[in-house]
Amino acid sequence: MRSALGFYRVMAYLTGTFLILLCIEMVVRYGAGYDLIAGGTDAATNATVPLGLNMIAADNLTGGLNLSTGVLIVHGWLYVIYLISDFRLWSLMRWPFTRFILIALGGVIPGLSFVMERRIHREAEQELVANPKAVRRY
C-alpha cells in the first residue's frame, strides 16, 4: 500500500505541474494567438528561429518543435497514468467510489492535485498506522 501511495504522490505532482503548464499554454495560444515553438524557420522573413522559447504565429513557421502541442500530449498521458495510480490506491485502501472520483478530479482542476495529494496522503497514512495488519505488499 505504501508503494501505491508513493506512486500516487509522484503522479499527483507531475500531473498537477503539467496541468498548470497547460493552462499557461492555453492562455498564450487562445489569448495571444501564439504557439510556443522551439526552433524552425519564420516563413515571413525566411530567417532561422533560434532554439529557445519563441512566440511566433504557427502560420508563419515551418519546422521546429511545437512545445504547445507537446504540453497537451504529455499532460494527457500523465493524466492516464495518474488515473491508474488513483485506481490502485483507491482499490487497496478500499475507499468509497466517491473518493476515487474526487481524487480523479485533481488531474483536471488546476491546483487541486496538490491539495488532494496532501489530504489523501495524510488520511492514508493515518489509516495505515491505525491498521498495521491491513498493509499488503504489492
**Over pLDDT 90: what percentage of the chain?**
32
The residue to which cell 497547460 is assigned: 22
3-state secondary structure of 18: helix
Integer-rounded Cα Rg, in Å, for the chain is 20
3-state secondary structure of 136: coil
Give the ranges where the chain is alpha helix by DSSP (H). 2-26, 67-93, 97-105, 112-130
Q: What is the pTM of this model?
A: 0.78
**Domain ranges for the chain:** 2-134
Q: What are phi and psi of 38, to 5 degrees?
A: -110, 110
**What pLDDT, on a 0 to 100 scale, did the predictor assign at position 50?**
61
Tell me: the pLDDT tens digits for 80-122? 999 999 999 999 888 899 999 999 998 899 988 899 889 988 9
CB atoms within 10 A of CB 86: 28
Q: What are phi and psi of 37, to 5 degrees?
A: -125, 140
**What pLDDT, on a 0 to 100 scale, did the predictor assign at position 56?**
54
**What pLDDT, on a 0 to 100 scale, did the predictor assign at position 138?**
45
